[in-house]
Structures are given as structure tokens and as C-alpha cells.
Structure 1
Amino acid sequence: MNVLSRFLRYVRIDTQSDPHSDTFPSTEKQRDLSKLLLVELQTLGVKDAHLDEYGYVYATIPATSTKPNVPVICFCSHVDTSPDVTGLNVKPIVHENWQGDDIILPDDRAQVIRLSEHPDLAQQIGNDIVTASGTTLLGADNKAGVAEIMAATEFLLQNPDIKHGPIRILFTPDEEVGRGTQHVDMQKLAADFGYTVDGETLGTLENETFSADAAQIRIQGVSTHPGFAKGKLENAMKIAAGIVAALPKDSVSPETTEGKEGFIHPVEIQGGQDEATVDFILRDFTVVGLKQKADLLRQITQEVLQHFPNSRADIQITEQYRNMKEVLDKYPAVVDNAIEAMRRVGLPAEPRSIRGGTDGSRLSFMGLPCPNIFAGEHAFHSRLEWVSVQDMEKAAVVIVEIAKVWEEKS
């Protein structure tokens, strides 16, 4: 399956999403890729492929099995790229037969991908590595997944002798800004189980994610003319800075945690001396852990406010997503069948927890149990992002094999 040509075509389309936008999708340019995918699906002969008003692409690969009760399986990837690094004018470079040397990105030679800093590269000797040119991200997160699903779709349609049940395809916008499933029509999707194709290392399957909340502290200070402020001014920006400065220095932060440890992470401060807001994300693998972090944030805020007696602060906690494992443990076949499919094609099939979330986190709680399988993307959200051509091809093979396993076991 030729995944590379699709991938190189897709990453050249700027689909960066915008967390500050109140439209859906958050950027109109995401539709540029969605429209292309629609045309490609229609060209392949997918009769029901369509793009809806929200920017979702839906399509069906009809069943080739005569068995009456094969579950409907969905494969899903997102078209948007991260707001963290520009996705405009991506110039993908294929480093063929890579032999372990440093990969210096030509448009900014300070950007170097080194084996010592990217240990997964140790498995890529002799493979073909795709990078950007140094001034943009690559967009493998998640255009690698999009290309893999499209390649698998083409392969299945061209090989109707392969037995499988009905397969739904779903391409979503705005996953990177936490809204990827906001307008998914679950009745239209009508799938029993799903897989997001948005993971990292070859042969991995993520069946556990963070649970996630957002927290916003809205601060009301006391404003007055700075020339006459003694004993009166209580600067809301200083209160905000004090709260951030009071966070633990050696724990409960992204830079000091790993594994199953959660964190409190400030992501934005806005305002002036009269009013200010501080936005945080809270992450933990359990809801109890999330509550503990929210309580710690409230405690820190109150301690800082003791030095500003005439100011006040309100904290709003908003649920973002929950650990998919709570749902997946009720449907073991959705993980077991993917593991078997990977092992059949010679991969280790390693279940992992991910220190993040996917569209599958939300889809699982919307009624579609949905773990995340590898797409091969690495160093995502950065100018050092890379992906292996061979890993992308293997992911497409795994998608086909998953469909076969579900049919065989039905």
C-alpha cells in the first residue's frame, strides 16, 4: 500500500486549528483537506462519502462478508494540526535509507533530529524518514493516520475477496483544540466499535488516557492611578503571577512528572491591573486525582489572596475528557482484536497509557469504545516532527488486519 504519496500531498495543506476561535471548525482552511479527502473517496467509488456542515467526512466501506452479525468498525483520524507550531508552507523531505546520522533540517540548520534525543529512531535504521524543513511542523499528527486510513480503504476496495464487515471512516476537525467530537453524529456514524489512528511508536495500542479538566481563575483586583496607589492598588496581574509562581516547583507539573503522574499546567494569562484570567489544564489518570489538583489550585489561590485583602478570585472547572479505559474494560474484544491483528503481521502489540487524550477518549464515552492505534508520528507539535514511511505502511496493513479479525471472530 502506497501511503507516502498520500501523506506528502496532505501535509502540504495548512490545516492548523485555532483554540481562540468560536467557529466550528475553528479554521475554515481545515475544510481544504476534508474536501480533498471527499473527492478521493468518491473517486475510489465510496458512494456515501460526504462532508457535513461541521467539516466531518463520513464514508462507508461496504461489507464483503456474508455473516449477518459482524460488528460495524470505525477508523478515525483528525485533519487539523497543532496551534503550537505553524503548518503553513510545509516542505516535506524524505530521508531515504537513513543510517543513524543527525538529520539537519535545511531551512533552519539549528533544528537537528538526533538519535540520542529521539530513542525511537534506533528502530529506524535503513528506513525512510520524513521530516519538515525546519520552519514548520510536519503534520504527521495526524495526517499520517489520515493517509493510512485512506491507503487501507483503497486496498480493501480493490480486494473484495478480503472478508470484512461494514467499515465506517470518520475524519474530524479540531482534535488539537479539544473539540474533535463536538458535532459527531453518532446515529449517522452507526458504528459498534472504533479505532483512532493517532498513536506514536510502531506496534503500540493506547487503551488508557489522562482524564482531563480545564480550570480558569478569574481575578478581580483593585485598580487606581499608579501615582496615587499606595495602600490602594491590588494589581490583578500580580495576583495571577503570584498564583502561577506558587505552584509546586518539583512536582505536579508537566516538566517534573512522568508515567501515571498527573499535573497542573498554566497555559495562558490575560488581563490588566483591574481584571485578569489564568487558564490551566488539569491532568490525571483518575477523577479522584483531578479533584485533588483542583483543590490544590483553590488552596494556592486563597493563600495568594491573603496578601490582597480587597481582591477576589473565582475558579471555574470544566470537564474536558475522561480516561477511555473506564469504557474499554467493559468491551475487551475491541483491544484484544487489535492486539491479535498486530501480532499476525509480526508486531509486538504493546498496550500503553498515553499522557494525553485522543478523539477516542470522548468517542468512548459517547458510546463508541475506541482505543488508539499507532500511526508512527513522533516529536509531534514541534519542528522536529518525523515519521517513518515503513511505519506508516505497517499501520495501513494493521487497519486491514483488524477488519479481518473482527469478521473471523463474528
Structure 2
Amino acid sequence: MINVTIDWDEEDRIKQYTFVTPGGISNEYYWYDNEVQRMIKRRVASGSGNSISNETLYPSQYYSVYIDDTSDEIIMRTKNVYVGNQRVVSVLNPDEQTRYEYYYHTDHLGSTTYLTDRDGKLKEHIEYTPWGEGWIEQSQSFPTDYLPYKFTGKELDATGLYYYGARYYDPRISMWLSADPALGRYLEGDERGNGGIYNMRNLNLYMYSFANPIRYTDPDGLSTWTDKEGNVQRVITDDYDWSIYRYKGDTKTGPYNYGNKDMWEKVGETKYIDAFVSPDTGSVSYSKVHFGVSKDQEMYDLNVEASKMSPVEVAIKSFPQQYFDVKQKWMAYHGYLFEGKYLTGRELGNVLAGMNAAALGIDFGTFQRLAGLLNFDFRDPIKSIMQMHAPMWGEIGYQYFRSKYGYDLCK
């Protein structure tokens, strides 16, 4: 017999999940940021003479760190690589000298069905019931604990629950464990609509994927909605969509009917899921998208100029409000095209910094250490160095992944 106890916080999020079996007891604890994204997961389990105590840290969607509480040492780092919004490969680093690559082969829902290594050797094969329970599971010896992405590409916890961002899903009962946090947008009179109270499926707040799991998934992405001239009106935080939608009407002040798809046209996609979300405050920055305006030529021209300078000169000209600080002249949260995707001026500044480092032949690790020191303003170098750890070295994931993208473009 299994006994389960769930504790919830004031935001209707699970903070502790306890399950007791004849063989022992297991607890999982969760901590979240102000945007309901899980930042830390801690597992403590004991029974049959064995005990487990570990933590998983989530600096961003791209990176996870696994720590053994007993030794307080990092036992694994996992970097996730995406094409669009689909995870395609996870890179595992148990230490700085060892690297494993595992590639995801998914079905139409994004569920992992086959997992192979870099040589194409099959490591795992999974088939699911329509609601996400494992039906057939075949695996060889490899670190499965660090590759938990299964049904629809979501993380499967030791509790048997899938973490979807705003809620936890139990495939064994085919339902969410908490009510839909987007309830307000389904009711009559709301701008988005979705049929409101006249769509009976909206009234079941625990139903998964409108009771059609073969066709639909429940989302957790960020789509951007603008008026006709590109002024950002809304960023929807739970629709698993990187798209930018432009209103076809003439109004600048609304109301905007987000549920009437005939009034909107897709005009592009953001490169990163949180393009118009401030990494400092976590809040949406309502700025502007410059449709069709490409910064490709200007970015590469600046990169060529940097390649002809000394590293010291480039560093000085990369300081805030200096020559290479493009967010000053392009506006931090105005969006432009670069390599076919929309990025903000702030993002392009990080991308350009990585491009310039590559053009100068600077190792990315060295560049990232310098970026970390700059993030601390060099005010207390000793304290800064003590707080700097690989791979971000004192910076944040927002900067790291954008600069790495730029670096890889030009290396």
C-alpha cells in the first residue's frame, strides 16, 4: 500500500510530495521563482538500508545541475539543446573532462520514443499509453536519472508526476493535480475567449489536453501579441508558442480579441522564449517589434570592425553606453530580425559580445569569466571570483546562452 501526502503553497503549487511504501519513505521538495518556474528540486529518500539525498538546480530551461547533498559535490551537469521549441540533444558532463551526448527521437506530440548516443546506438525505447503512462520501456545502461524528459518532452519526477511549468500532471489518472491557472482567460467576457463558458471543456479545470491527448498537448511557452504597428500588447505565458502575432485591425488602444484568430496574423518567431521578459525583474517589457527590419548586416559589420581591434579596445568599447553596446541605440526591448528570428536590442548586445570574442580568437570560457567580472562591475574582484562558478562564471543564463549563440556563429 502506498500513502501519499501533498503540501501546497499559497500560489497553489506543490512544495512537498511525500509517499510512503512498505519499503521506505520518499520526500520531494520544490522551490519556484516569481514566474512559477521550478528552480530547485530536492529529493530525500530512505529505506531497506539505503538513503538518497540530492538536489537538482534549474538555472534555465537549457541547463540543470545535480548535487549530492551528502558530499555537497556536483555529480552531473546537463545542457539541453533546442531547435525551435523542441529539445534535440542533452549533453551530460559529470566532470570537466567527460562528455556524453544523447539525442531525442520524438513523436508528433514531442514525446521521447527513442534515445540514441552520438554514435547512433539505441539507449532507450519508450512507448506510451494515450495519456502518458509508460507502456513499453527498453533501456541499456546509461544515466537515466539525468535524462528525465519523456511524455511530450516534459520532466518525469520520481513521484511519477510530470512537471509542466504551471502544474503537475499525473498520467496514471489522466488529470492535473491542480486547477487550471488560466481559468480567467476561459470565462465569458475575457479577451482571449476560447469559447468561454459556452465551451464545456473549459469548465473542467483538471482535464488534460481537452480530453484528446492524441492530438493536443498542454502548453507552457510564451507568445507575443502586438498591435498593427508592432507595439507589444501582451505576452501570453502558457501557450508553448514562440510566435509573434500582429493585430489586423487599426486600433492602437484595444480592446483586442485574442480568441478571434481571424483578427491576427503570424509575422515571425522570437529566437528565445523570454525575449520580451526582463531577466532582472521577471516582468514583461511592453515595447515594440520592428517587423521585417533586419540587423544582420549591421551586426556582421560591427563584428568585422571588432576583429581589427585589440581585445582591450573591444572590451572598453563593449562597456555600457559605448560603441558596441547596441542596446543603447536599438533600444533594449525593441525587437529586430537576426538570422531569421526576432531578438531584442538587449539580446543582440549579448550575441554581438559572443561574436566579437570568437572573431578575436578568445576562448569562450575566458570570455565568460570576463563577462562575469563585468557583471560584478569589478567593484570587489576577490569577492566576485569567489562567487563565480562554471559555466556562467557570475553571469546569468540570459547572457550566457545568447553570447554562446553569437560565439558559435563566428568561431
TM-score normalised to structure 1 length: 0.21
More strand by share: 2
More helix by share: 1
Higher relative contact order (CA 8 A, sep 6+): 1
